[in-house]
């Protein structure tokens, strides 16, 4: 991974078991880094726990670590989580508005058209989990 670009997050080891190391990271939106965040109330910071394969023996709970993910996988996550559902929603909405001329029905059907997509993602979560591997630096 030395010659690929990575997404890095600083974190703290939350817990450890035989299979995984759980690292707590602080996820910040772009607003959280803004100098005017106190004025608009839009700062969004959440604690998340990242699951990393346990192949490091010298870590203990409370250790500060850096979690890495290949940048290309970050783009793939954005694609699966935001872009594909948006495209499905817009295409279904546009087609149904043209066919039915009923905006309410078209909007509801467009929203419900996302259910199969998210069910498929849920069914493929073990495959997706294998592909999206975090490592500790």
pLDDT tens across the length of the chain (137 residues): 455 787 888 888 888 888 888 888 887 665 555 665 565 555 567 788 888 887 777 888 888 888 887 878 878 888 999 999 999 999 999 999 999 999 999 999 999 999 999 999 999 988 888 888 888 87
7-24: burial string, b at 16+ Cβ within 10 Å, e else: eebebebeebeeeebbbe
Q: What is the DSSP letter of 28?
A: E
Fold type of domain 6-136 = OB fold (Dihydrolipoamide Acetyltransferase, E2P) (2.40.50)
In angstroms, rounded to a whole number, what is the distance separating the alpha carbons of residues 31 and 44?
7
pLDDT number for residue 1? 45
């Amino acid at each position: 991974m030395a010659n690929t670009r990575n997404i890095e997050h600083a974190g703290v080891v939350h817990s450890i078991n035989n299979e995984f190391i759980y690292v707590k990271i602080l996820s910040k939106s772009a607003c959280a880094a803004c100098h005017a965040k106190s004025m608009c109330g839009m700062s969004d910071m959440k604690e998340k726990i990242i699951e990393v394969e346990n192949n490091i023996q010298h870590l203990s709970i409370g250790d500060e670590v850096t979690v890495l993910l290949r940048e290309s996988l970050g783009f793939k996550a954005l694609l699966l989580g935001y872009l594909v559902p948006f495209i499905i929603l817009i295409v279904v909405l546009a087609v149904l508005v043209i066919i039915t001329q009923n905006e309410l029905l078209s909007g509801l059907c467009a929203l419900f058209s996302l259910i199969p997509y998210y069910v498929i993602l849920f069914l493929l979560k073990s495959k997706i989990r294998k592909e999206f591997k975090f490592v500790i630096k």
